[in-house]
Amino acid sequence: MRHIWDCNHYLTCGLACTEAVCGQCPAADKDQCSKTAGEAGHPCNAYAFGWACAIAAISGPGAFCNWEIDKDAGLWLDAVGNRYCK
């Protein structure tokens, strides 16, 4: 059984693996490579737990950390700061 603290480790390794695998791809192919690198049968699948864990966290209790909500550094810092610094 994996523990929640494994999430960061597996996500970090997954990101590093994806960069190593897809980093040399032409710009037109890099996005597709990044999307499939962690799927079954692909080189970064061993780190799929990290992706699943991160998505679950951002979709649930960690939603305030989701950069995609505002895509603005100031608003993002404000949301995270309000969560921890009130």
Most confidently predicted of 1-5, 19-23, 64-68: 19-23
pTM: 0.61
Task: List pLDDT tens digits, range 56-70.
Answer: 877 877 777 777 777
Q: Residue 34: exposed, middle, or buried by beta-carbon count in 10 A (0-12, 13-18, 19+)?
A: middle
**Is 11 a residue whose pLDDT tops 80?**
yes
Q: What distance in Å separates the CA atoms of residue 56 and residue 50, rounded to the nearest whole number? A: 10
Q: Map out the domains of the chain as residue ranges.
A: 6-84
